[in-house]
Chain A
Amino acid sequence: MKPISSGQSENPVPKVLTVIADAGSALLASGAEVARVEDTMQRLAFAYHLKSVEVIVFPTALFINASGMNTVIRRIKNRGVNLAVVRAINQLSRDVSQNPIAVEELENRLAEARRTARYRPEANLLFAGIGALAISQLMGGRPVDLLPALIGGALTQLVRQWLRHMGVANGVADMLAAAVAVVPAVASAYWGISYPGSILVAGIMVLTPGLLMTTAVRDGIQGDVLSAAARILEALLSAGAIAAGASLTLYMYLALGGRWT
């Protein structure tokens, strides 16, 4: 008698599906919007002639199923910003849909794309510093603010990178990094630089959840309202954590009788 349920062994997950799921999760973890992830996965599945493919993507998980195969699920735990990965995988899916390559080669090129064009961590400190420097001048800073802002941006990025590397949760990492970001501003206020506000703002702007806000909007227009709501919430929590961290340092400084004009 034939069993009703055929079980897993007769219905293995082909490699194509897992590779496509990996591509999707790499995109999502690098900060791509939901519509792009779904589109890319569909395009890859179409290139490998999978039938009746269904893809569901949330900011924290994705599911892909094709007819006659088991569903593949990926959980996305660590989300960051790496637009180089988004670009590389986007390019890869375009190439593959025009002239298909073997699944093994796709896997190799995907692994390559995930490591793509990352600048060295020390270089990131410099970029954060320059960004903070430019912002301090935009916020009405004077030449005297340049150096503290540069230090503030670099220091903030250093603390955030280090905490992320240690595996600290994003919200907590943002809060602690913001608490440190304020230190150069407080120091300049202590040594008599008036209106240290632009230095403070420059430091915490490095932590701004600009990507979350942008993707939330783009998800919302596409009708992916669940992702949009989740990302707005994440952006608000992140902004709250940054404000709390910065306030903490500033409060202690003021409570100790520091000067702040």
Chain B
Amino acid sequence: MIVRALLSGVTAVAFGLLYQVSGSTLIISGVIGTISWALAGLIMHFPNAGLLGDFVGAIIVGGMAEVAARLKHEPALVFVVPSIIVFVPGDLVYQSMVAFLKDHFLSGMQSGLTALMAAGALSIGLALATAVLRPMLRGRWGAGKHRV
């Protein structure tokens, strides 16, 4: 469990490097990746969790990135993009692909649709975190002094 969370952090750092991020930003991305995966992993163990883990993970990534962006005066995008990669449902897409190739149409459809819904859960989680946190943070620190 802890090892997997740390692996998630390593993934976030590696993809951060791939997207040309550097310095302390990279370390923060790694921490966000680790914490979000650990909490999402806990939720996955609930009975009938379904895609709840992805959803909560995305909320945590979005929320922490928004706070980090405020504190570091950097675009939130820099923190979100590397950390969200581990939640992308690559495994489901792969299962769907193999099922279609083996003529198992129904299970291919099932995995494919689940992957699409997982992507939807991630999007809604990110959107929710950003939409709620951004106005709150803007109000607290320096009341939009950077606005035109």
As a 0/1 sequence over residues 175 to 204 of chain A, the CB contacts with chain B under 8 angstroms (1 = contact) are 000000000000000000000010011001
- The interface on chain A, measured as residues whose beta carbon lies within 8 A of the other chain's beta carbons, has a size of 59
Residue B94 interfacial (CB < 8 Å): yes
Q: Are the C-beta atoms of B20 and A82 separated by less than 8 Å?
A: yes
A83-B21 contact in complex given A90-B74, A197-B91, C-beta closer than 8 Å: yes
Q: Are the C-beta atoms of B130 and A218 separated by less than 8 Å?
A: yes
Q: Are the C-beta atoms of B8 and A211 separated by less than 8 Å?
A: no
As a 0/1 sequence over residues 34 to 52 of chain A, the CB contacts with chain B under 8 angstroms (1 = contact) are 0010010011001000000
Which single member of A31, A91, A131 contacts B77 (CB below 8 Å)? A31
Q: Are the C-beta atoms of A205 and B85 separated by less than 8 Å?
A: yes
Give every chain B residue within 8 A of A139 (Cβ-Cβ): 90-91
Name the CB-closest residue of B to A140: B91
Q: Are the C-beta atoms of B101 and A42 separated by less than 8 Å?
A: no
A84-B21 contact in complex given A134-B7, A217-B127, A247-B97, C-beta closer than 8 Å: yes
Which single member of A124, A138, A239, A247 contacts B7 (CB below 8 Å)? A138
Name the CB-closest residue of A to B112: A243
Cα distance A204–B15 when bound, in Å? Answer: 13
Q: Are the C-beta atoms of B93 and A210 separated by less than 8 Å?
A: no
A66 to B: closest C-beta gap in Å: 13
Interface residues on B, range: 35 or more
Residue A213 interfacial (CB < 8 Å): yes
Q: Are the C-beta atoms of B148 and A42 separated by less than 8 Å?
A: yes
Chain B: interface secondary structure?
helix
Give every chain B residue within 8 A of A124 (Cβ-Cβ): 17-18
Interfacial residues of chain B within 49-103, with CB under 8 A of chain A in the complex? 73-78, 80-81, 84-86, 88, 90-91, 93-98, 100-102
Cα distance A210–B119 when bound, in Å? Answer: 10
Give every chain A residue within 8 A of B15 (Cβ-Cβ): 127, 131, 210
B25 to A: closest C-beta gap in Å: 7
Cα distance A44–B18 when bound, in Å? Answer: 29
As a 0/1 sequence over residues 9 to 44 of chain B, the CB contacts with chain A under 8 angstroms (1 = contact) are 011001111111110010000000000000000000
Cα distance A168–B73 when bound, in Å? Answer: 36
Which single member of A117, A123, A197, A220 contacts B94 (CB below 8 Å)? A197
Give every chain A residue within 8 A of B127 (Cβ-Cβ): 217, 220-221
Name the CB-closest residue of B to A30: B20
Residue pairs across A and B with Cβ atoms less than 8 A apart, 14 shown, are: A36-B75, A81-B20, A87-B21, A94-B146, A117-B22, A128-B14, A130-B10, A201-B94, A204-B94, A210-B85, A211-B77, A214-B80, A214-B126, A247-B101
Known: A124-B18, A204-B94. 7 other contacts (CB 8 A): A43-B146, A83-B21, A131-B11, A131-B14, A134-B11, A201-B90, A210-B81
